[in-house]
Homo-oligomer: A and B are copies of this chain.
Amino acid sequence: MFFQIESSCPRTGARTGLLNTPHGSIRTPVFMPLATQGSVKALDPGDLKAIGAAMLLGNAYHLYLRPGMEVIRTFGGLHRFMGWEGPLLTDSGGFQVFSLGHMRRVSDEGVLFRSHIDGSEHFLTPELSIEIQETLGADIIMAFDECAPFEADPPAIREAMERTHRWAERSLRRHTRNDQALFGIVQGGTSAELRTESAEILKAMDFPGYAIGGLSVGEPKGLMYAISKHTAAMLPPDKPRYLMGVGSPEDLVECISHGIDMFDCALPTRTARNGGLLTPKGRINIRNARFKNEEGPVDPDCDCYTCRTFSAAYVHHLFRCEELLAYRLTTIHNLRFVIRLMDRIRAAITDGTFPEFKEHFMATYRPTDEEVRSTQKRKWREGREDRESEEDEWRA
């Protein structure tokens, strides 16, 4: 059995479950750190085990360009290449072709684009995306989709959605490995009507799991929540639901209450590399002078390696000096924060106290609203989480 629901919140849509994959079982809701290019930025597999990461997310677009499928085949897949024995999910590359590729020409057949790395020309189709993902060998793979920008007009959003449905069918047809679960991706922008239509059409194709794509690309947070809630409710209750690209702490708590089971997001890791550290009260910036002489850890309640071992003053110093260790220590902290938050959420759902947990969390955690919104607004144009794979983003 691929997915089993273990408990449900009687007062919200939240539920806990078990996702069974060839590389192990994962408790849901789950947050998946990004290993876009086969490495969670600044961490090694030992760090990831230590912080309790259950499942990582690789990317077909990036890994197809570098190191390329010949290398991945030599290693029999991404797991052995990157030294990660746990479950993996790969994204189809659809989002990245549109956000990172240059000189795109989109047709029903596929997308002609130039690599963001060397300008080389490639033609990505649903069939090729699935072939790449079969070579990568992740436990869960994604249908090839077209994600319309937030600014797109209604006809363009419909066109991208309908193409996504045709590509979903082709992805399904091409998929042969029965040790991989292929998920469909719901599109439809911020229109509840289109989301309903998209969910219905994809449900009929009977995927083992469903993702909600095309959110967190610049729309206001309230609208993202509304569409996430609406779409989650349209999806089969017995199958896992994956909200793509979402994952600030407050978004996780909110969207779990809609019945979302899986998340990925660059926010905790990218923010960490910019000195933004997650704490129970909200995000702090470790570069701030108030940490210069702070003997205590970044967060006294945190059990991560960084907080157990180093003072906030030392982490502050490493950041001020741009020492490479800084990025590893803060990434460990932020991922541990998010993973522990997920642990607590699952415990609260199981105990039947999730609504109280959510209320308490929302009352004590101060989201960095303005920042998040303006960042998200820039996200689409700048290429969302994939920008982080480019040369200088980690310094930005």
Partner-B contacts on A (CB < 8 A): 37-39, 41-45, 66-67, 70-71, 74-75, 81-83, 292-293, 295, 309-311, 313-314, 316-318, 320-325, 327-329, 389, 391, 394
Contact = CB atoms under 8 A, between A and B. Distances in A.
B74 A295 contact: yes
A324 B325 contact: no
B83 A39 contact: no
B317 A67 contact: yes
Copies of this chain: 2
A394 B325 CA distance: 13
A329 B311 CA distance: 25
A336 to B, nearest CB: 15
Contacts of A293: 70-71, 74
B83 A42 contact: no
A292 B41 CA distance: 20
A314 B81 contact: yes
Contacts of A323: 37, 39, 41
Contacts of A314: 38, 81-83
Contacts of A311: 75, 81
A275 to B, nearest CB: 15
Given A74-B293, A81-B311, A313-B74, A325 B42 contact: yes
Contacts of A67: 292, 313, 316-317, 320
B310 A37 contact: no
Contacts of A83: 309-310, 314
A300 to B, nearest CB: 17
A292 B37 CA distance: 15
Nearest to A41: B324
Nearest to A317: B67
Contact of A39 (B292, B309, B318): B318
Nearest to A318: B39
Given A292-B67, A293-B74, A313-B67, A321 B389 contact: yes
Contacts of A82: 314
